[in-house]
Amino acid sequence: MRKIIAVMCIGIIMVALGGCTSNKKEDTAPKVGQLQNMTIGLMPDVDSIPFIIAQEKGYFKEEGINITLKSFKSAMDRDSALQSGNLDGEISDMLAEAFAKAGGFDTVITSLTTGSYKLVVNKDETVTSIKELKGKDVAISKNTIIEYVTDKVMVEGGLAPADINKIVIPQIPTRLEMLQNGKIAAATLPEPMATIAVKNGGRILNSSDKLSINPGVMIFTSKAVNEKEKEIQGMYRAYNKAIDYLAKEPMENYIDLLIEKGGFPAAVKGTLILPQYKKPVAPDAKDIEAVIAWLQTRQLIQKGYSYKELVDDRFVR
């Protein structure tokens, strides 16, 4: 009898221990609320699409993170929000990172993003080459990736950047509107705004894609990188899921989502062509060096920052 009771007691103990082990495993699974919240700044361009998809398809939630996406119409407003502590990170560019460092703001580049920028002439212009833009009004946003790409396009086309009349229009929708209304000869626009301009009669003269220029990056504050490492890792895993989704899913299955949630104009429906999104990697040193050289030549920054000062590649190694 005593042996039977002893065996039963051992069995009860083993079941209890097994239950404790099972509960422990469940507790370690990622759940929203266990990790810190993050806020990411977006612009109305194709770089933002993987984030919108990751949010709406629940990929962030699957990784146990709660991310708030905030949209901005100008790079200046976006960067101000990051520098004032209202954002943990943003889709940005190498120039913005250098400016942040020069201004004493502690931020770092964590990866490249996939963007596309195009120089488009309005429907009434007869120019067919970059050289024919000499002396004409070209809309840009000053000291940004847009002006950087514009200068590169001019040089490749045989003009000096000073040969055109740069018209500063920071807000992207306004830049597009002025182009379509014939108020300016040309404008450098990100996608999908360039697609809309072409749909309405504009013509592309050159683009960052053709020049193999890709200065678009993801930037985080150093505070976020150091205090929210697990959250950022989860964000990148969700981002990769979104890229996989975009690679296999027909656009008609999510274009309405982009229009509704991403603030994309309805005019992109049926015409938008997405870039081939790539899994996040660190930027090349030569691209960083080219941007720094451009900024120093224009005396926009004094110090020539090194790659390690600007880039933290721990999340994409």
pLDDT (0 to 100) of residue 258: 87
Query: Which tens digit of pLDDT belongs to each residue from 64-82?
Result: 999 999 998 888 899 999 9
**What is the average pLDDT value for the chain, to the nearest integer?**
88
Q: Quick check: is 1 in a domain?
A: no
The answer to whether residues 234 and 201 belong to one domain is no
**pLDDT 10s digits, 147-162:** 999 999 999 999 999 9
Answer positive or negative: Cα dihedral of 164, 167, 171, 172: negative
The count of domains in the chain is 2
Structural element, H or E, at residue 221: strand 216-221
Same domain, residue pair 86 and 129: no
Mean pLDDT computed over 46-71: 95
Q: Is residue 58 part of a domain?
A: yes
The pLDDT-based confidence of 243 (bands split at 50, 70, 90) is very high
Residue with tokens 């840009």: 140
User: From the CA atom positions of the chain, what is the Rg in Å?
Assistant: 24
Three-class DSSP category at 36: coil
Residue 241 maps to a domain: yes
Tokens for 104, please give them.
């004493």
Give the pLDDT score at 9: 42
State whether 243 and 256 are in the same domain. yes
Residues 133 and 279 in one domain: no
Say how far residue 129 (Cα) sits from the centre of its chain: 30
Q: Which two tokens stand for residue 215?
A: 């200065």
What pLDDT does 14 receive?
42
> Are residues 71 and 104 located together in one domain of the fold?
yes
Same domain for 153 and 69, yes or no, is no
Q: Is residue 249 part of a domain?
A: yes
Indicate the residue among 155, 186, 211 that finishes a domain. 211
**Domain around 245:** 38-114+214-310
Distance in angstroms (rounded) separating the CA atoms of residues 186 and 175:
10
| CATH number (domain holding residue 297) | 3.40.190.10
Residue-wise pLDDT tens digits, 118-138: 999 999 999 999 999 999 999
Report the pLDDT value the prediction gives residue 76, as an integer from 0 to 100.
86
